Amino acid sequence: MEEEVHMGNNSRKKRKIVFPYGNYHRYYGYRVGKTLKQDPRMELMQTQWFQDKDVLDIGCNEGHVTIALAQKYRVQSMCGVDIDSGLIFRAGKNLQTESGVQGAEVVLKSRDWSEYINENGTENDEDESFDPVAMENEVESVATESLRSLTGKELLERVQFKNVNFLHCSWRSHICDTVLCLSVAKWIHLNWGDEGLIQLFVKIYRLLRPGGVLILEPQPWKSYEKKKWVTEVARENFRNIVIRPDLFSAFLLDKIGFKSCAQITQDVPDCSAGFSRPLFLYTK
């Protein structure tokens, strides 16, 4: 992506903007385009994954999907997290716009997700034992019902956004029913390698309640190849990746502990070029 930079005397120079974490400020414009009213992935979601559930959206960007799911399925609570503070600011603005509540009115949240996040501590209430390093070594050998939409203060009460690095903060165990990880795994993989990917999966597994689900949209390997040049860190991690996307399912089932995997779709219809990717449902 490029932007024009004015250098004076009517001269202009193109400066490339780098998004090392996939934190594109116009991501939904790239993915959805101008002809669609909503993200095509919305049509693939099912009521039982969201209605009256506590939901976490990892890498929520500007929060459009986060808010739309909360509205359509009347979640019990919804938290979107993203590493980019600017995107979280926009998500908050989008939430206020969708609620229709004007001004800086303070709303008491039905659930404060801050209670479950410790940005500088160790994992809380852990009841499963994982050794990410041992796992990394071992792997080298291996249609919805109609609901009244959430609006107004009720929407503001149930949805919130947090500016955190999901990997670098601890989470209490068994705090949510559904986790969304849509087109995020590649960026964690390129920035923190196999170890970061393992941490991602372990943390998700721990914070899910028994019977909870992970909705995962992994990017294909060819997408990694296109973005490996984004930073030197990404280039180095790319060279050392062992757990490629085609191994994710086996790893999540055999090493992390998910009970089952179902493919929601092979291709997302009506997506812009490059965004029609498989979606998977993992059940704890």
Write out pLDDT tens, residues 214-244: 999 999 999 999 988 889 999 999 999 999 9
Q: Alpha-carbon distance 118 to 114, whole Å?
A: 8
CA 41 to chain CA mean position, Å: 13
SS3 241: coil
* Dist. CA 17–CA 1, nearest whole Å: 6
> To 10 degrees, the CA torsion angle through 200, 205, 211, 213?
0
Can you give the pLDDT at residue 145?
A: 43
Q: pTM of the full predicted structure?
A: 0.81
Alpha carbon distance 248, 206 (integer Å): 17
Nearest of 198, 98, 199 to residue 154 by alpha carbon: 98
What's 256's DSSP letter?
I
Residue-level pLDDT at 100: 87
